[in-house]
């Protein structure tokens, strides 16, 4: 069974967010903030794709729930992006 685009985006988001937490444990907390921002950008794309996927395929979540997840991921993108632009590292 091959991975689709949604699966690849989910893995990328998870890896970026995990890397952000690992990097935040070092002296490079600001890099951790930017990695977390990128992780949530990818999570937003994944959620938006899932909205359209759930409209034509059986899904445990309705399209409106996927849309809610997309809006939460977009809000986290804005939050961590603002922290990064302000120079605040992850965990400070």
Tell me whether residue 62 is in a domain.
yes
What is the distance between the alpha carbons of residues 86 and 17, in angstroms, rounded to a whole number? 20
* 25 membership: H or E segment, kind and range: none
Domain count, the chain: 1
Q: What is the pLDDT of residues 14-69, one digit of tens each?
A: 999 999 999 999 989 999 999 999 999 999 999 999 999 999 999 899 999 999 99
Q: Is 20 part of a structural domain of the chain?
A: yes
Provide the CA 18 distance to its chain's centre, in angstroms: 11
Confidence (pTM): 0.92
Query: Residue 81 sits in which domain range?
Result: 5-86
């Amino acid at each position: 069974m091959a991975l689709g685009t949604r699966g690849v985006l989910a893995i990328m988001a998870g890896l970026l967010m995990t890397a952000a937490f690992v990097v935040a444990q070092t002296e490079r907390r600001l890099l951790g903030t930017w990695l977390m921002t990128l992780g949530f950008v990818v999570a937003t794309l994944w959620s938006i794709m899932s909205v359209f996927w759930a409209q034509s395929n059986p899904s445990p979540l309705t399209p409106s729930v996927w849309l809610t997840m997309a809006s939460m991921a977009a809000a986290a993108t804005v939050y961590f992006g603002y922290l990064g632009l302000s120079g605040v590292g992850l965990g400070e």
